[in-house]
Amino acid sequence: MTTITIEEAKQLDQKDTLANYRNEFYIKEGQIYLDGNSLGLLSKRAEQALLGSLQDWKEHGIDGWTEGKQPWYTFSETLGEMTAPLLGAESDEVIVTGSTTINLHQLVATFYQPTGKRTKILADELAFPSDIYALQSQLKLKGYDPDEHLIRVQSRDGRTLEEDDIIAQMTDEIAMIVLPSVLYRSGQLLDLARLTEEAHKRGIVIGFDLAHSIGAIAHSFNEYEPDFAFWCNYKYLNSGPGGVGGLYVNKRHFGTVPGIAGWFSSNKQKQFDMEHTLTHADTAGAFQIGTPHVLSLAPLKGSLEMFQEVGIHSIREKSLQLTAFLIKLIEQELVDHGFTIANPRENHRRGGHVSLEHEDAASICKALKDKGVIPDYRSPNVIRLAPIALYSSYEEVWKSVQILKDIMDNGLYQQYENTRNIIA
Ligand SMILES: *Cc1c(COP(=O)(O)O)cnc(C)c1O
């Protein structure tokens, strides 16, 4: 095998048409940030957008809701419209509101309608815990025992799911399916089109958690039209810690009464009539609940402007090239060090991060951090590495692998306890 040199990495950077976007971000000197799948970095435009909303507040007080440069009253709708192209969705099918978990609660409260023997919810055993907790609590609220009514598709290898196994579980007892687009540990991308088609053939409502795909992968929801989706914006969309999330509801469900209603579910013209009978919006906006968290919405505007300029297809293309480059380097440099590459290799089956398994993953991550490479650790044995299309370079990917190789060759990780920190 011919060795990949740093010159090759530099050449890839020179040819990279997105390379300039790196200058739009605050990147710490001497650090290589590979954790944008957990918390994306701050961009200058996101910062400006936040300062803009503060300025509107300064200048307009209460009138900022309607008179500011970026009026707060319709901010969630504006951002939904800007997000829609990332999903291949219609503008009014998307709203920026809530959080991943809150939006899941809302969508299950709305679309989980058990009837006859169709009472069960299908998820998977590798799902992010918060999603499972939300499903369990929604089942309880409807009077069902989650142990019986939450079905979890099993993984054959502990990392990935087989679409065939999921489809085999789409029985006439299933009322709703909730699955991730990209699995948060292994980075597997599921075939959302096929799963949607198979669910709909059987009369089952299906929705997806896009936390690990939005901003990394182009979706074409207009083609296969899942019922709903939800996500956070602070990962690949760089909206900042605690940034407001988003949801998608397919237009055929417009007019459905929100399961969890509040005055921001209202038709915007009617909202201030202050009636006790809700006239809900006839768009995805109906699934908002209360006053938007304006200062946690604002950064997303600046960030989405860059996604608009670049287009999600170019971002996906570069992301695939970055992760392919990383995988190749890992195979070249780290063969005998006990790593397993846990993500699928095919482009159409992998998301935006590389998933490395190692029995000493926790201590290796600590060593990486001390050497200026910021990875992401998931207990007990997963290291996630996410080079980000808008701000990571091929040279950084190359250097990260060299640093990891040094850590392994010299056993540097052995100085650290192989246990997770509070946040990992
Ligand atoms: C990040 C993530 C969450 C986080 O949910 P919040 O409500 O934003 O805290 C939930 N589900 C998945 C799959 C995630 O990756």
The whole-number average pLDDT for the span 203-227 is: 98
Strand, coil or helix: 143: coil
The whole-number average pLDDT for the span 266-293 is: 96
For residue 142, the model assigns a pLDDT of 96
For residue 1, the model assigns a pLDDT of 56
In the chain, what percentage of residues exceed pLDDT 90?
Answer: 97
What φ, ψ does residue 235 adopt, rounded to 5°?
-90, -105
265, 287 contact by CB (below 8 A): yes
- Mean pLDDT computed over every residue of the chain: 97
Burial state string for 82-119 with b = 16 or more CB within 10 A and e = fewer than 16:
bbbbbbebbebbbbbbbbbbbbbbbbbbbbbebeeebb
- Each residue's pLDDT tens digit, 315-331: 999 999 999 999 999 99
Classified by CATH at the fold level, domain 6-30+312-415 comes out as Aspartate Aminotransferase, domain 1 (3.90.1150)
Domain ranges of the chain: 6-30+312-415, 48-309
For residue 265, the model assigns a pLDDT of 98
Categorize the per-residue pLDDT at 422 as very low, low, confident or very high, splitting at 50, 70 and 90. Answer: confident
The domain 48-309 is placed in CATH, from the list 3.60.15.10, 1.10.565.10, 3.40.640.10, 3.40.50.300, at 3.40.640.10
Instruction: Choose the residue to mutate in 96, 161, 232, 239 for probing ligand 1, maximizing ligand atoms within 8 Å of C-beta.
Output: 232
Instruction: Choose the residue to mutate in 101, 135, 190, 214 for probing ligand 1, maximizing ligand atoms within 8 Å of C-beta.
Output: 101
Ligand 1: distance of its center to the CA of 231 in Å? 7
| Residues lining ligand 1, Cβ inside 6 A | 99-101, 128, 130-131, 180, 184, 209, 211-212, 232, 245
- Each residue's pLDDT tens digit, 25-84: 999 999 999 999 999 999 999 999 999 999 999 999 999 999 999 999 999 999 999 999
Residue type, 52: G
Ligand 1 atom at minimal distance to the Cα of residue 101: 7
Q: Do domains 6-30+312-415 and 48-309 have the same CATH topology?
A: no
Residue 189 pLDDT > 70: yes
Residue 409 pLDDT > 80: yes
Ligand 1 atom at minimal distance to the Cα of residue 104: 7
Instruction: Choose the residue to mutate in 97, 106, 126, 128 for probing ligand 1, maximizing ligand atoms within 8 Å of C-beta.
Output: 128
For residue 335, the model assigns a pLDDT of 82
